[in-house]
Each structure stands twice: as structure tokens, then as C-alpha cells.
Amino acid sequence: MSRAPLEPDRATLEAWLAEVARAGFDALEALPHARAAGPLGAEATAIAQAVRLDFAEAPHDGGIASLVARVVAASEASLNTIGPGYLAYVPGGGIPSAALADLLACLLNRFTGLTAAAPALCRLEADVLTWLAGEFGLPAGAGGLLTSGGSLANLSALVAARHAVLGDDGRLSDARLYVSSQAHGSVEKAARIAGIPAANLCRVATDERLRMDPQALADAIARDRAAGLRPFAVVSSAGTTNTGVIDPLPAIATVAAAAGLWHHVDAAYGGAFVLCDEGRARLEGIARADSIAFDPHKGMFLPYGTGCLLVRDAARLRAAHQLDAPYLQDFDRLDRRDEVPSPTEHGPELSRDFRGLRLWLPLLLHGVGAFRAALSEKLALAQRLHAALADAAARGVPIELLAPPELSIVAWRARRRDGEDHGAWQARNAQWLARIVARGRVHLSSTVVPDGDGTPCFTMRACVLSFRTHAAHVDAAVEDIVQTAGT
């Protein structure tokens, strides 16, 4: 160990790295036999208490091996989000090559908030964004930002929409934003942070599959205009979190354009499917959006902390997020003519991690084709799951299956018994889900979806989106769902 305590020598660092890599790779190697979820609740809280340490003035006695062991023990008390049986919420998995990109980015630790401070690194990130914008079919002039996730992408989109359509006078009491009941909660939260009063969030009616009704949208905008309000944006969903349905994007784009509204598509879950032919066809119309949020930490299988906002006219995003400050004046002396825009001009952050490398390195290392193939596989696996459950239902297993997946989410519930009380039916569904996850092979989650009469119903869902999930895991899910169904 060198004498500077915060600057260990190379041999020490390499030994530490080997320890960290060993623990991480052991965890990956154990995945085929690991449970889909570790203990949660009180048992997990006890583990949290057991692994915690007090911070001391001197180095920890056990060194890195003991510290890493604690972290691994802590990680076991969790949903196993990197495992192949993780089909809950919206998986992704976290490809290991992105972790290596993060290590390199953190070791180099360059400042990539302002392009002038690291023009070539910012160019790598901008190249990723330009490539992504092209995959979504956005025109030249499009650009965007890698964010920490979909929530922040939705926030910057709403800030850009607010600025572009309503200006900057701060008068928002009459601003109207349109979403459906199926919009992700982060949209409502973004609106609140962006200063839009909660009462000004207009919930547009949906069709029988819970897709936004474009005619109802047009009618709501007209009604609000007539009442002297200021409609400024509509947020559609390209893959709802509940059931994975896609709002009618072309029709919504037409309504938004005719009414002069900003059309933001929340494709945090579904957007990555533009990378494969089948998915691109299903996302038809997404290229007409003013902005798109999508999460590489979902559909591009990256570790958590990687979201993306793409904006059709990047200048409008810049106009809403521009930063100028006297302490940045040194950069003005440079010749900056051919620079790509600074990330800080496109979003709220100044200092930030160098997220670009998390995409740049894996895309080049594995090739784009590997991502396209994995996404096609996920769509096919969701069809396989739906078909197997439909088959089970036809054989008499009491499953009420929702419509076939538009993307990679399959949803179902227990069929209601004749005369069964609603509460008892809901409880029976929750017990069924508990029996499935207790087996430990797959982890599923539930949500509430209204039935045809609008009654909220406990609904189970499986989201196939981990790059580690393959046919055998889906077949295991089917087995566990069917065998625990009861009568």
C-alpha cells in the first residue's frame, strides 16, 4: 500500500479489482440456480441490520474481501433483477460489458457535462444519441440526452414542451396536459415538478384495451380551448407499464399537430423494440413524436441509471435547458465551432457520470445485431407465454387471459367463480401470485386493470425483457403458473 491512503498502488488496486470481479462473476455464475427473489420484508430488514457497519477513522479490519462479502450478502435480500426468472415490473438485466464501461468511465472520471471540457468523449455520447435518433426514425436536427432513467427523461420532455408551447412567463394555472389513465406515474410526477397544477392533468378516455382514444383527446382539447384554457402537450405511451399496450401513435400525432400541442411519447418500456423489425412495425408513428423517452436500462439491458430522451428538434430542448454562468467563461476562449452540444444544455444536470460509455462500448463490442436479435426473441417469448396460457385455459385451467401481447407483457387473472364476491376473487388472485413466486423459479408482479365494466381487478403480469430470459425460463413460468392455479 502506498503512503497516500486514498491512492493505493497499482498492485493493491489490481488485487481489489480481482476481489470485486470475483464476487461479481461468482454472482453471475450462480444465476442459473439462484432464486428469482431473495428474502424481502422483515427478513431482509434483519439482513440490512446484520450487514451494516459503523464508519471508523481507520480502515476496516477485514479489508476489501470482507466488505465485498457484506455487499453480496446485502444484495441477496432483494428481487433478483439480474436473473433469467425475473419477469416482474420491467426487467432489463444489466449486461456485464456495461459494468466494465462504467469502471473505465469512473477511473478516467472526465467531466462530461460541458462538451468544451471533453469534446471527444462528448462526441462519443452524441454519436450514440444520433444513432438512436436514427433508429427511431427522427430527422436530422434531432438530439437528446442520456438521463438517469425514464422519469428524468419524461421531466425534461415536459419542461421542453412547456417552454416551447407556453413560453417562460410562469403562468401555468391554465396550462393543460393530456394523458391516459395508463400513463406511468412518473409523467404525473414530472408534471408536478414542472409546475403544472395537478388539476390540469386531463385524463383522456381509453378504448377497451386501455389505449388512448384520439377522438376523445381531440374533443377534450377543443373543450378546454373553448373554456379559455391553454392545452400544451399530450403524453402517449408506447408500451404501458401495466399491460404493454401501445397508444395509437399516428392518430395522436395527427391530433396533436392539428391542435399545436407537443406530442411526447413515453416509450421508457417499449421504445427499444424499434431496434428489431417486428417491434418497429408495432411502434409505427413514433417517428412523428416531438419527443420520446426510452430506457436503455430496460430494453437495451443496461444497468440501472441509463435513460434517454430524444427530441425531434434538439434546439427546442436546448432552449429550455440552456445554462450560462460567469465561472464557465474560460471555455469561451476556445474555438468551439464543430463541437456537439453540451449535455448540460439538454437537461437539468451539470456534473454527471459519463453515461455515454455504457452504450458506446457494448454496442461496438457486441455489435448492434446482438441487441436486435435479443429484442426479437423477447417478443417471440411473450407470444409463447401467451399461447401456452391460452392453451391451458382451453384445457380448463381457470385463467382469464387478457389480449395477446403487443410487446412483451402478458397479463391474466384467475377466472371469477359464479357468484363469487369481488373481494374474495381479488384475494384469491393475490394468493395465486404468492404461490407462484414462492416456488422461487420466476418472479412476477401484479397490477390493477379495470375489466369491461370499469371495475378494478387484481391482474398478474409477466414482462419478458431480460437478455437472460429464454424459452426454458418462459416454459418454467408456464409450469409454475398452471400448477399453482387451483380450481
Ligand X SMILES: Cc1ncc(COP(=O)(O)O)c(C=O)c1O
Nearer to ligand X, 303 or 307 (CB): 307
Closest separation between CB of residue 152 and ligand X, Å?
Answer: 7
**Minimum distance from residue 266 beta carbon to ligand X (Å):** 5
Candidates 91, 149, 248, 405; binder of ligand X (CB under 6 A) is 149
Nearest CB to ligand X, comparing residues 243 and 426 = 243
| Alpha helices for 34-144 (secondary structure H) | 41-51, 63-76, 96-108, 119-135
Smallest gap from residue 439 Cβ to ligand X (A): 25
**Range in contact with ligand X (rule: CB under 6 A) among 2-10, 149-157, 320-328, 386-394:** 149-157
Copy the grid coordinates of residue 210.
386501455
Secondary structure (3-state) at 111: coil
Nearer to ligand X, 266 or 406 (CB): 266
Check binding of 242 to ligand X (CB under 6 A). Answer: no
Residue length, the chain? 487
86 SS3 class: strand
| Cβ at position 40, least distance to ligand X in Å | 19
Q: State in angstroms the smallest separation of the CB of 312 from ligand X.
A: 19
Per DSSP bridges, beta strands 445-450 and 456-463 are antiparallel
Q: Which is nearer to ligand X, 189 or 422 (CB)?
A: 189
Which residue reads 444489466 in cell numbers? Answer: 94
Q: Which of 268, 381, 481, 485 binds ligand X (CB under 6 A)?
A: 268
C-alpha distances in Å from residue 285, one per residue of 52, 146, 270, 289: 50, 23, 13, 8
Distance CA 9, CA 14 (A): 9
Q: Give the x/- contact pattern for ligand X in 85-104, rule: CB under 6 A.
A: -----x--------------
271 binds ligand X (CB under 6 A): no
Min CB(184)–ligand X separation in Å: 3
Of 81, 151, 156, 459, the residue at the interface with ligand X (CB under 6 A) is 151
Return the residue matching grid coordinates 399491460. Answer: 243
With helix as H, strand as E and coil as C, how does 232-251 read? Answer: EEEEEEECCCCCCCECCHHH
Using CB under 6 A as the binding rule, the residues of this chain from 61 to 90 that contact ligand X are 90
197 secondary structure, DSSP code? -
Residue 45 to residues 40, 400, 449, Cα–Cα distance (Å): 7, 36, 31
* 266 binds ligand X, rule: CB under 6 A: yes
Strand partners, 177: 201, 233
Task: Answer positive or negative: Cα dihedral of 419, 424, 430, 436.
Answer: negative
Of 149 and 405, nearer to ligand X (C-beta) is 149
Minimum CB distance to ligand X smaller for 90 or for 126: 90
CB atoms closer than 10 angstroms to residue 152: 22
Question: Taking the complex as a whole, how short is the minimal distance between the CB of residue 447 and ligand X, in angstroms?
Answer: 11
Q: Sheet harboring 409-414: ordered strands across?
A: 399-401, 409-414, 456-463, 445-450
Q: Does 244 bind ligand X (CB under 6 A)?
A: no
> Does residue 38 bind ligand X (CB under 6 A)?
no
Neighbours of 457 (CB within 10 A): 20
Site for ligand X in 201-240 (CB under 6 A): 237
- State which of positions 174-193 bind ligand X (CB under 6 A): 184, 186
* Interaction of residue 406 with ligand X, rule CB under 6 A: no
Does position 247 bind ligand X by CB under 6 A? no
Q: How far apart are CA 274 and CA 136, in angstroms?
A: 6
Minimum gap (Å) between residue 144 Cβ and ligand X: 15
Q: Cβ of residue 287: shortest distance to ligand X, in angstroms? A: 19
Query: Rounded to an integer, what distance in angstroms lies between the CA atom of residue 143 and that of residue 383?
Result: 34
- Residue 292 CA to residue 238 CA, distance in Å, equals 9
* Contacts (Cβ under 8 Å, ≥6 apart) of 57: none
Could you tell me if 389 and 401 are in contact, meaning their C-beta atoms sit under 8 angstroms apart? Answer: yes
Is residue 84 classed as helix, strand or coil in its secondary structure? coil
Q: Between 271 and 343, whose beta carbon lies closer to ligand X?
A: 271
Question: Which range of residues in 35-43, 265-273, 312-320, 373-381 is near ligand X by CB under 6 A?
Answer: 265-273
466 sits near ligand X (criterion: CB under 6 A): no
Among 247, 295, 345, 480, binds ligand X (CB under 6 A): 295
Using CB under 6 A as the binding rule, whether residue 343 contacts ligand X is answered as no
CA distance 199 to 177: 10
Is 185 or 369 the residue whose CB approaches ligand X more closely?
185
**Burial state string for 287-315 with b = 16 or more CB within 10 A and e = fewer than 16:** bbbbbbbbbbbbbbbbbebbbbbbbbbbe
Closer CB to ligand X, 84 or 149, in the complex? 149
- Judged by CB under 6 A, the stretch of 8-16, 148-156, 382-390, 408-416 that binds ligand X is 148-156
Nearer to ligand X, 221 or 407 (CB): 407
358 binds ligand X (CB under 6 A): no
Q: Quick one: which segment of 109-117, 264-272, 391-399, 436-444 binds ligand X (CB under 6 A)?
A: 264-272
Footprint on this chain of ligand X (rule: CB under 6 A): 90, 149-151, 184, 186, 237, 241, 266, 268-269, 295, 307
